[in-house]
Amino acid sequence: MKAAELLYGTAPGRFLLRGLCRPWFSRLGGRVLSTRLSALAVGPFVRAHHIDMSQCPRQKFRSFNDFFTRTLSPDARPVDMDSAAFVSPCDGRLTVRPVTPEGRFPVKGTEYTLAGLLRDEALAARFAGGLVWLFRLSPEDYHRYIWTADGTPGAAVRIPGVLHTVQPLERGARPVYHENTREYRPLETAFGTVLVMEVGALLVGRIENRPVSGPVVRGQEKGNFAFGGSTIILVTERDAAAPDPALEAASAAGAETPVRLGQRVGRVRPDASRQY
């Protein structure tokens, strides 16, 4: 956090950021972290962040990125398969924000618009009055993610941009989710359209989504991030889903809630159910 404060809170730091936030810097970092020598950093990183390696079937890694994109044992992240459950696509810290009828929503003191996030006013209008589910991942989190519901994905859209950090300090300083590189796909489900977006961050040069050519199922792996913090954003339509009460209260108070991949975080509203 001290480094982020220096970079974003001082004039010399902001000057330096002009280069650091460019995609080439994260690509360079990614190449370094894919070398065999980088595997030497795995042990110190695990100890510093108290990562439970008993859940990982593999203990030897070719590089730091090989460790970072590791898989876990099948039972390490059980997925809630209750048809009424709305589940987390990833490990992270979750905040749920309502979207105004005008398509606006606040994140840590910064106001965003769906049109700015998607760069598609017609698509953004479909989610006016809905909810934004923002999952922020830190470097120590598990960085694979899943489809959260059965459904049929629409076309993937990639929006090139820069790569700011998504740590709380910076999210309150500028609209990073309007500026960072991101990818999204609409998912047609039994409870309406869910917008699924991955947002890159500083040192996350790669959003690695798996190719799909037909329907997907809840719990199916969607992809992974390369090294660094990052964010997954889900957007649901008006009255389609609701967060669990404790999560809703925490989000209203401006607090993030730790969640795990596959964990129930809300419920699908019965009156929203329909065939996709």
Residues noted as catalytic? 91, 230
Integer CA distances (angstroms), 37 to 28, 34, 143, 206, in order: 15, 8, 21, 20
The CA-CA-CA angle for residues 19, 209, 218, to 5°, reads 135
> Are residues 135 and 94 in contact, defined by beta-carbon separation less than 8 angstroms?
yes
DSSP string for residues in 156-176:
-EEE--B----SHHHHTTS-H
> Are residues 229 and 204 in contact, defined by beta-carbon separation less than 8 angstroms?
yes
The residue assigned the tokens 């913090």 is 229
Q: How far apart are CA 8 and CA 10, in angstroms?
A: 6
Given the DSSP bridges, would you call strands 92-98 and 131-137 parallel, antiparallel or unpaired? antiparallel
Q: How far apart are CA 175 and CA 129, in angstroms?
A: 20
